[in-house]
Structure 1
Amino acid sequence: MLLDVLQGAEAGSFIIFRDSASCPGRRLLKSYVHAALKREEEVHVLEFEASEEELPTGLDVHCAQRLHIHGGFADPLGWIKRSSFTVHQFTSRSISTLISSQPQSKSALLVIDSLSWLVRHLDPVVICKRLQEIRRGGAVKTIIGLLHADLHQISVVGSVCHLASTVISVEPRTNGQWVLAKTTKRTKSGKVLQEEELFSIQENLTVTVHSKVSHTTQTQPETDSVEADPAANLTFNLHLSEMEREAKEKVALPFVFSQEKKSALLNAGQGAGRILYEPDANDDFDQEDPDEDLDV
């Protein structure tokens, strides 16, 4: 899967190379840039961690005209006005202006070296929002970012990597000869593909995969899955059998009169009991003074 990613990504993708101090991933990032230039793609690099002379070293001189480096290494925060691009200029409008200033016929590849500079000096929420705006802007075909995972909190790294369609984590091996690449790719259908490979990078920046450690395919959980029955392991029975249900339906509920009882009460005969009341003198009631008996 690592070679498939290096050979070209689909439009609108966002790829993160995740590394650490024990296993830097800049050389793998440079191999991707080399492969993109070989495919005659326009590559724009936001360079914050290396000089403008370091990245082109080892690349084909015939491809150098398609490589556009926007240097922020000398002055990444713009304090002394020596850089052509600063951290605070990382917006969708600024990126579109940089890319449109170069004559080209198709969308470009945007390389951020590195995302850690942005994460350390901007709010992670702002970075995620601007990355989404750049992806939807149309001027950029693919975004490639190098992220130093050991410089940030786990939650911040997870939030940024959640936006990526592909995350390639590089880790050292005990023998020191090869490097382990853990690739996680999210497809448009919702599947998550994961693969671990041992690779090495040649002098000409060509990546060679030596062996595959593991390969797994995961899918999103189905939404119509059957829910567990909460009454399955109880020591008593909450369900009724057919015979018990029929007996329950035949029982008359309290305070519910049947039709026969209603007819008997509504059509009382001559022998039915009646209450007769004859007022006496003490029950004299004055309509004009209802409170006469209260002696007030």
Structure 2
Amino acid sequence: MLSELLQGTDTGGLLIIQDSSSCTGRHLLKSFINAALNREENIHVLGFEVSEEELGEGLNTSSPQRLCFHNAYSDPLGWTDHLTFTVHQFCLDELTHLVKQTSQSKPATLVIDSLSWILRHLSPPAVCKTLQQLKRGGAVRTIIGLLHADMHQKGTVGSVCHLATSVINVAPGMKGDEAVAKITKRSKSGKVMQCEEIFSIKDDLTVIVQSKPSHLEHKQTDPEEQQMDPTANLTFNLRLSDTERKAKEKLALPFVFSKAKKTALLHSGQGSGRILYEPDANDDYDQEDPDDDLDV
């Protein structure tokens, strides 16, 4: 599934690369940028965390006019008078004007490096609103954002990822040059697909995907994770032997009528339905006053 996402066949979506301090996702982000450049797409990068020189290392620079880097790294809060992109410009009108001013007629791919920097200075509802509006707008073809999950609360991460059409959670692999990609993809019909893949990135930012995670084959099961039998240490037996099971099957339940009993009830004989009372010797029954025992 990672190879399909790198091909960029889905338009009008939001792709979130979710990483942590244990495994960075910027190399995978650069692989997506390079793949879009190879498809001759126009790329707009909002760079908050690294400089343009650092981000451009290894990228396809054969057509530099198709890669537009908006410098939000040197002055992200607008404290100086330099004409740079600031975090306060992260809204629909500013981004639409920025993309249309420097792009050709066809929609461009917007890369945000990173959403975590923006979420630290803008409220999560405002960021989610802008992302949702960009998805519906016509100036941006696709949005790719890097999100550091361990920098935010789970509710904030969940809200941003809920808007995404695809989420790639990057985690460390078994080997030094490998990483694990846990992918969640939502189709337009609402179907959710999930998979886990091992991948590595070459020096030219080419992604090599292994179809089957290697660590799942060699992972030993933790004794605490083994499924325990809840009936193992009971003082009584919950299971039946073969003899007990046969005896149980032959036992007639009180609410199950036999064939003979059904026939007797359905075809009652002569005189049925009569109530006969035989007084007991101890009964104090007065023929003249039948209600003598009542306190009236």
Common topology (TM > 0.5) = yes
Q: Is the 8 A contact 1:197 1:210 kept in 2?
A: yes
* Equivalent residue number for residue 7 of structure 1: 7
Q: Is the 8 A contact 1:30 1:55 kept in 2?
A: yes
Q: What secondary structure sits across from 1:129 in the alignment?
A: helix
Q: What secondary structure sits across from 1:11 in the alignment?
A: coil
**CA distance change for structure 1 residues 3 and 93 in 2, over 3 Å: closer, same or farther?**
same
Q: Give the structure-1-normalised TM-score.
A: 0.70
Deviation of the 1:166 alpha carbon: 0.1
Distance, in Å, in 1 between the alignment partners of 2:80 and 2:120 is 19
* Equivalent residue number for residue 82 of structure 2: 82
Specify every segment of 5 or more residues in structure 1 that has no aligned partner in the other structure, as ranges. 215-296
Q: Is the 8 A contact 1:70 1:84 kept in 2?
A: yes
Q: Is the 8 A contact 1:128 1:163 kept in 2?
A: yes
* Equivalent residue number for residue 53 of structure 2: 53
Deviation of the 1:54 alpha carbon: 1.4
Moved more, 141-150 or 93-102: 93-102
Q: Is the 8 A contact 2:179 2:200 kept in 1?
A: yes
Deviation of the 1:83 alpha carbon: 5.2
Q: Is the 8 A contact 2:43 2:67 kept in 1?
A: yes
Q: What secondary structure sits across from 1:84 in the alignment?
A: coil
Which string of whole-angstrom CA distances, capped at 9 and with x for unpartnered residues, describes residues 212-242 of structure 1?
239xxxxxxxxxxxxxxxxxxxxxxxxxxxx
Amino acid across the alignment from 1:51: S
- Find runs of 4+ consecutive structure 1 residues off by over 6 angstroms: none
Which string of whole-angstrom CA distances, capped at 9 and with x for unpartnered residues, describes residues 106-152 of structure 1?
10000000000111110000111111111112100100000000000
Between structure 1 and structure 2, the one with the greater Rg is: 1
Distance, in Å, in 2 between the alignment partners of 1:2 and 1:50 is 25
1:191 maps onto 2:180 in alignment: no
* Equivalent residue number for residue 156 of structure 1: 156
Specify every segment of 5 or more residues in structure 2 that has no aligned partner in the other structure, as ranges. 215-296
Q: Is the 8 A contact 2:42 2:103 kept in 1?
A: no
Which string of whole-angstrom CA distances, capped at 9 and with x for unpartnered residues, describes residues 261-289 of structure 1?
xxxxxxxxxxxxxxxxxxxxxxxxxxxxx
Deviation of the 1:21 alpha carbon: 0.9
Distance, in Å, in 1 between the alignment partners of 2:81 and 2:132 is 28
* Equivalent residue number for residue 20 of structure 1: 20
Q: What secondary structure sits across from 2:105 in the alignment?
A: coil
* Equivalent residue number for residue 119 of structure 1: 119
Q: Is the 8 A contact 2:23 2:170 kept in 1?
A: yes
Q: What secondary structure sits across from 2:193 in the alignment?
A: strand
Amino acid across the alignment from 1:82: H
* Equivalent residue number for residue 137 of structure 2: 137
* Equivalent residue number for residue 43 of structure 2: 43
Which string of whole-angstrom CA distances, capped at 9 and with x for unpartnered residues, describes residues 160-215 of structure 1?
0000000000000233231000010000111100010000000111000123239x
Moved more, 47-56 or 14-23: 47-56
Q: Is the 8 A contact 1:38 1:63 kept in 2?
A: no
Deviation of the 1:33 alpha carbon: 0.2
Q: What secondary structure sits across from 2:78 in the alignment?
A: coil
Amino acid across the alignment from 1:68: C
Distance, in Å, in 1 between the alignment partners of 2:112 and 2:60 is 21
**CA distance change for structure 1 residues 207 and 80 in 2, over 3 Å: closer, same or farther?**
same
Q: What secondary structure sits across from 1:22 in the alignment?
A: coil
Within-5 A mapping of 1:164-203: 164-203=164-203
Distance, in Å, in 1 between the alignment partners of 2:9 and 2:15 is 9
Q: Percent same amino acid among aligned pairs?
A: 57
Amino acid across the alignment from 1:194: Q
Amino acid across the alignment from 1:182: K
Amino acid across the alignment from 1:77: L
Give the aligned length.
215
Q: Give the structure-2-normalised TM-score.
A: 0.70
* Equivalent residue number for residue 284 of structure 2: none
Amino acid across the alignment from 2:197: E
Distance, in Å, in 2 between the alignment partners of 1:161 and 1:23 is 18
Distance, in Å, in 2 between the alignment partners of 1:72 and 1:81 is 13
Q: What secondary structure sits across from 2:54 in the alignment?
A: coil
Amino acid across the alignment from 1:29: L
